[in-house]
């Protein structure tokens, strides 16, 4: 069941939201993107922040294939800002991204890819990534320094301690010139790369970094959801810190 692509202006920035995962590490139940955070599905938080970004003119969500109609109805109820489209995701994250890419209108020149599982990524981060692509970068990723000591192991034996000063933990939204991302997604070895920038690197393009945001952490395991609830209760409108 597809819907017509919304009309957008030439050079538009679109945000793709892969949201079709089961969330197995979070435990059994509703697909992760539809699990509640502050009483609202995580996907709604993620879409709201993208749609509120100044530079984003279209949001395309890749939903669990058996829940496209529900997700469409859910977002119609909760959503304002940039126009929205919902497509069926695929069995892997990359296939979900590809399904959303295929739905983009021709006018879209810049694509952000943002995990539904990062519901609290701030609007300012979304705009900072989009701005960096608009300023000329082919690919842009938000990163944070690695705070844990990192070791390489073989089985249960430490082989070396890695110098973490050059390591960065990578977040989303990641931003790309559309043609660069589309070309990277043609790579047949695509499934063993965990983020879109990894594909773009492999295709030989330069990926640049911008400062990430702590709130853009990914909800992967049950403890992450506890943290997200605590963060949301502080940053939500009317929360203890306000917004
Ligand atoms: N994703 C997707 N389609 C898939 C698999 C993942 O759109 N077939 C999305 C998830 O919905 C999530 C993002 O990719 O927003 C990041 O993936 P991850 O955190 O691994 O989520 P899940 O795959 O749902 O979780 P798990 O790996 O624990 O099952
Ligand atoms: Mg996964």
Q: Does residue 215 lie within any of the structural domains?
A: yes
Question: Do the domain assignments include residue 4?
Answer: no
For helices 42-52 and 123-134, the axis angle rounded to 10 degrees is: 50
70-103 per-position pLDDT tens digit: 999 999 988 777 899 999 999 999 999 999 999 9
Residue 40 domain-assigned (yes or no):
yes
Angstrom distance (rounded) from CA 234 to CA 243: 9
pLDDT, position 242: 47
Domain CATH code at residue 192:
3.90.550.10
Domain count, the chain: 1
- 223 in a structural domain: yes
Please check whether residue 122 lies inside any domain of the structure: yes
- The range of the structural domain enclosing residue 174 comes to 12-235
Inside any domain, residue 241: no
Query: Is residue 243 over pLDDT 50?
Result: no
Mutate to test the pocket of ligand 1, among 67, 71, 117 (most ligand atoms within 8 A of CB): 117
Rounded alpha-carbon distances, angstroms, from residue 146 to 36, 57, 141, 164, 211: 28, 33, 15, 7, 13
6 found inside a domain: no
What span, in angstroms and rounded, lies between the C-alpha atoms of 193 and 199? 7
pLDDT in tens, 125-156: 999 999 999 999 999 999 999 999 999 999 99
Q: 204-224 pLDDT, tens per residue?
A: 999 999 999 999 999 999 999
Residue to mutate, 93, 99, 217, 220, ligand 1, most ligand atoms under 8 Å from C-beta: 93
* For the CA of 113, the nearest ligand: 1
> What pLDDT score does 238 carry?
77
- How far is 203 from 207, CA to CA, in rounded Å? 11
Q: What is the pLDDT of residue 3?
A: 75
């Amino acid at each position: 069941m597809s819907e017509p692509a919304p009309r957008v202006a030439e050079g538009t920035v679109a945000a793709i939201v892969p949201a079709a995962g089961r969330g197995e590490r979070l435990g059994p139940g509703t697909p992760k993107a539809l699990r509640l955070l502050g009483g609202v599905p995580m996907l709604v938080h993620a879409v709201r922040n993208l749609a509120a970004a100044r530079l984003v003119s279209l949001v395309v969500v890749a939903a669990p294939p058996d829940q496209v109609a529900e997700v469409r109805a859910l977002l119609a109820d909760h959503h304002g800002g940039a126009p929205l489209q919902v497509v069926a995701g695929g069995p892997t994250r990359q296939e979900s991204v590809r399904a959303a890419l295929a739905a983009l209108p021709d006018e879209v020149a810049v694509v952000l890819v943002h995990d539904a599982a990062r519901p609290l990524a701030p609007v300012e981060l979304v705009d900072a990534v989009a701005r960096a692509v608009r300023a000329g970068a082919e690919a842009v990723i938000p990163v944070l320094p690695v705070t844990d000591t990192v070791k390489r192991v073989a089985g249960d034996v430490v082989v070396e301690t890695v110098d973490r000063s050059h390591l960065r933990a990578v977040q989303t939204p990641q931003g790309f010139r559309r043609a660069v991302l589309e070309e990277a997604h043609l790579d047949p070895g695509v499934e063993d790369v965990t983020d879109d920038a990894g594909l773009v690197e492999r295709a030989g393009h330069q990926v640049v970094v911008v400062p990430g945001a702590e709130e853009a952490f990914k909800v992967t395991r049950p403890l992450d959801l506890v943290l997200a609830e605590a963060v949301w209760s502080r940053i939500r409108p009317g929360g203890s810190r306000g917004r």
